[in-house]
Amino acid sequence: MAAFDPPSTEPEHIAVSRSKGIQIDWTDGHCSQYDLRSLRDNCPCATCAGAGAEPASPFQLYKPSLKMLAVEPVGNYAVQITWNDGHNSGIYSFDHLRRICQCSKCSAE
């Protein structure tokens, strides 16, 4: 029985578009693309993951288009995104980003 090789969580190249999202080329040859909504919806911080999340206001009439204001490296294992909605506490580890890849190959697994 062959050993299972987990997907690489080492990025070879990261391309950031503040208005579109992030593309990561992984060292194992895989390419992941994350649009803004997918990244924001998959924020791994405690508040967004459900621990202490506040309900949305029923009076919010206008919501500006989602944009990343900044993407900063965190050590050699993650990126931190600052959003135009004021949120910036999510640290997106490369492990987390690889897990949330929504390409057809990853979705099938």
Domains and CATH numbers, the chain: 11-48+66-103 (3.30.2020.30)
Mean of the pLDDT values across residues 22-30?
96
Q: Give pLDDT, residue 48.
A: 86
Q: Output the pTM of the full model.
A: 0.82
> What confidence tier does 36 reach under pLDDT thresholds 50, 70, 90?
very high
Distance CA 42, CA 99 (A): 10
User: Tokens standing for 86?
Assistant: 């004021």
Tens-digit pLDDT profile for residues 39-91: 999 999 988 876 555 556 666 667 778 999 999 999 999 999 999 989 999 99
Query: For 18-32, 52-66, 90-104, which range has the lowest pLDDT when averaged over its residues?
Result: 52-66
Q: Give pLDDT, residue 49.
A: 79
Q: What is the largest CA-CA distance in the chain?
A: 58
Mean of the pLDDT values across residues 99-103?
94
**What percent of the chain has pLDDT above 70?**
83
Q: What DSSP string describes 30-56?
A: -EEEEEHHHHHHT--STTTTTTTPPPP
Query: What is the spatial order of strands in the sheet that 68-74 belongs to?
Result: 68-74, 78-83, 91-93
